[in-house]
Amino acid sequence: MNPVCRAFTKKDEEQVRELVETTFHDFLGGRYWDWKYKLNPNFSPSLVGVAERDGAIVGCNHWLLRDIKISNRSEVKAILGADIAVKPEFRGQGIAKSLLLYMRSLPIMTNKQAMISYMFADPSLSRNLYEPVAGYIPAPSMTVSFVKILKWKELENTITVLNKEIKSNKEKSDRLPKTELTILFLLLNTPQLLLSISKKGIGIYEAGSKKAKITVKSDFATLAILKRREHRIYHLLTALLTRKLKIQGNLISLFRFYRNIWLIEDVFSQRIF
């Protein structure tokens, strides 16, 4: 008989507490429920689901709502998919799958109230449950790069240094485009970034303040790979063919973008990603 999955209620707390603390008894001397959930400022009872069979709770799944800071200017709502606990005698009967599908049907997910859903799971459990059931995918092993790419303030500092170098180096100054080239970077889940290159130097602006002649669409993982100098042309072509990287603009602007790629590489220095 399939379990009934439903929302957590206050009367369920003792059963859920016992299930969680029995499952994770080696952590915090059994005080897991209070530490991670009840006393957590991000805890919401509405993000707990329970599986019930014959009036008894046999499984539970908890989520936590988070604010993830993308930059000094922007935050996004995110959900951390936390623990799934099932009583030992009921494991292997699809209860975890039912709970996960129930939780992912909640309005916070279906109405896109949360932009990001993520979790930390044992790789074998992820392959057998989270990936096939909920569509989670393994994160690339470049987390440090993902963090550093968000430091727009450091990007501004880098541009200030580059502008000073350009002014003192005639060869570099002569290579700048005679008319302004504006490039809009649309990076997944980050503030939009508009880069300007002209004889005056390099400028960084909020999106919408200038009309972009080139638009670059991508994500952290793709840009981090392209930052490596080794096999860059291969990775660039692969990203373009698989549409993980999209560069849009008229032919003249695309040619000018290609001619100034050296400067864009300098802008996105290792201090950024």
Instruction: Provide block-wise average pLDDT over 10 residues at a time, the chain (273 residues).
Output: 87 92 76 84 90 92 84 75 90 91 84 76 80 76 46 76 88 85 81 84 79 85 68 80 88 85 70 39
pTM of the predicted model, to two decimals? 0.49
Closest residue by Cα to residue 46 from 66, 33, 65, 69:
65
**Count of CB atoms situated within 10 Å of the CB of 65:** 16
pLDDT of residue 149: 45
Give the model confidence (pLDDT) of 252-266 as tens digits: 888 888 888 777 777
pLDDT of residue 273: 37
Domain ranges (residues) in the chain: 4-138, 145-267
Amino acid (one-letter) located at 68: I
CATH code for the part of the protein at 145-267? 3.30.1050.10
Q: Under CATH, which architecture does the 4-138 domain have?
A: 3-Layer(aba) Sandwich (3.40)
Give the model confidence (pLDDT) of 102-153 as tens digits: 998 888 877 767 777 888 877 778 878 888 887 777 776 554 444 444 456 6
pLDDT of residue 134: 78
pLDDT of residue 52: 94
pLDDT of residue 272: 40
Which is it for strands 74-86 and 56-71: parallel, antiparallel or unpaired? antiparallel
Closest residue by Cα to residue 135 from 108, 107, 97, 106:
97
